[in-house]
């Protein structure tokens, strides 16, 4: 049985660094599921700053896969202003940088400006389709995730023009509330354009930015709804944006990813 999300995102402090050996059950292809790497980095970056400075934006660059071997993470503060702190984390393996994460964490400030986001109409789960973990076909980390598909097709089902997917998401074993849980949930869904392909093909994230709108108030074990839309795809790359809302339609976070797709 795989370790839980909370287990794999709490690395071991050793002096000025944090270390771990990631389990096979959280892999996708040659490397670990990116959501747990970003979440682990965010957890340690948050610990560097005052608790009222909450994550506003987190950008992750995947320079290479982080495999199931010992990995090391370093974290530091790049700059602190009156309201905002800028932090950085690097994950290395075998002496090379594999992942770099940068975050802007800011305290609330008085402001006369406000734009209310209209609630999203969350579809019914009645007709949602279960996305199964199929050993040897789907990534290993999928066994730790529950997905109920409500829009678009599964990857590699040859759907012409398919550019949008949407699903209800949660961890198989409930994870603790927090920004770490939200950032990992936002990385569950595959690139929407993969549904256009007839057979499995390699795909990987190059860069990924998540913007937090609200804190994680979703009860443990509850679903979130995530809709993922392709903005552009050509020349082996695609850009997609996604919005995550709670079951009442309140926007929690939105994200954009640049994918490399070899198909």
Mean confidence (pLDDT) of the chain: 94
CA gap 203, 259 in Å, rounded: 7
User: Do the bridges between strand 164-171 and strand 224-234 make them parallel or antiparallel, or are there none, so unpaired?
Assistant: antiparallel
Answer yes or no: are the C-beta atoms of 5 and 36 closer than 8 Å.
yes
The CATH topology of domain 5-107+124-261 is Porin (2.40.160)
Q: What is the pLDDT of residue 30?
A: 87
259 closest CA partner among 181, 179, 182, 165: 165
pLDDT of 229 > 70? The answer is yes
Answer yes or no: are the C-beta atoms of 9 and 144 closer than 8 Å.
no
DSSP per-residue string spanning 148-164: EEEES--TTS--TT--E
Q: What is the pLDDT of residue 137?
A: 78
The Cβ of residue 208 has, within 10 Å, a number of other Cβ atoms equal to 23
CA gap 97, 15 in Å, rounded: 19
CA gap 28, 140 in Å, rounded: 6
CA gap 218, 240 in Å, rounded: 24
Residue 176 C-alpha from the chain's centroid: 15
pLDDT tens digits, 185-227: 999 999 999 999 998 888 899 999 999 999 999 999 999 999 9
Q: What is the pLDDT of residue 263?
A: 74
- Exposure string (b/e) for 145-173, b if CB count within 10 Å is 16 or more? bbbbbbebbbbbeebeebbbbbbbbbbeb
pLDDT tens digits, 57-100: 999 999 999 999 999 999 999 999 999 999 999 999 999 999 99
Instruction: Categorize the per-residue pLDDT at 182 as very low, low, confident or very high, splitting at 50, 70 and 90.
Output: very high
C-alpha distance from residue 145 to each of 138, 140, 168, 184, 255 (Å): 12, 10, 10, 11, 19
CA gap 96, 89 in Å, rounded: 14
What proportion of the chain, given as a percentage, has pLDDT over 90?
Answer: 87
CA gap 8, 40 in Å, rounded: 8
Residue 245 burial (10 A CB sphere; 0-12, 13-18, 19+): buried
Q: What is the pLDDT of residue 213?
A: 94
pLDDT of 1 > 70? The answer is no
Instruction: Categorize the per-residue pLDDT at 133 as very low, low, confident or very high, splitting at 50, 70 and 90.
Output: confident
φ/ψ of 246, rounded to 5, equals -80, 180
Give alpha helix (H) positions in 50-157: none
Model-level pTM? 0.95
**Widest Cα–Cα separation across the chain:** 54
Q: What is the pLDDT of residue 223?
A: 97
| Domain chopping of the chain, boundaries | 5-107+124-261
Instruction: Categorize the per-residue pLDDT at 138 as very low, low, confident or very high, splitting at 50, 70 and 90.
Output: confident
Q: What is the pLDDT of residue 27?
A: 93
Instruction: Categorize the per-residue pLDDT at 51 as very low, low, confident or very high, splitting at 50, 70 and 90.
Output: very high
Q: What is the pLDDT of residue 116?
A: 85
């Amino acid at each position: 049985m795989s370790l839980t999300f909370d287990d794999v995102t709490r690395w071991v402090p050793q002096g000025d660094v944090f270390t771990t050996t990631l389990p096979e059950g959280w892999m996708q292809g040659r490397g670990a599921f990116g959501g747990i790497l970003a979440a682990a980095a965010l957890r340690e970056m948050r610990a560097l700053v005052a608790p009222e400075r909450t994550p506003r934006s987190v950008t992750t660059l995947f320079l290479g896969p982080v495999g199931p071997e010992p990995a090391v993470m370093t974290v530091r503060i790049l700059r602190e202003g009156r309201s905002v702190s800028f932090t950085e984390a690097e994950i290395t393996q075998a002496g090379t940088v594999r992942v770099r994460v940068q975050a802007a964490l800011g305290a609330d400030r008085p402001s006369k400006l406000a734009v209310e986001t209209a609630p999203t109409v969350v579809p019914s789960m009645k007709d949602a389709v279960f996305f199964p973990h199929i050993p040897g076909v789907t990534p290993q980390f999928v066994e730790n995730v529950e997905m109920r598909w409500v829009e678009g097709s599964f990857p590699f089902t040859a759907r012409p023009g398919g550019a949008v997917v949407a699903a209800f998401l949660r961890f198989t074993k409930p994870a603790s509330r927090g920004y770490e849980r939200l950032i990992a949930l936002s990385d569950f869904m595959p690139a929407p354009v993969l549904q256009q392909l007839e057979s499995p093909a390699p795909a990987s994230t190059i860069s990924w930015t998540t913007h937090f709108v609200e804190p994680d108030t979703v009860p443990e074990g509850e679903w979130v709804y995530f809709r993922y839309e392709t903005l552009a795809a050509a020349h082996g790359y695609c850009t997609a944006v996604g919005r995550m809302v709670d079951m009442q339609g309140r926007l929690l976070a939105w994200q954009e990813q640049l994918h490399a797709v070899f198909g």
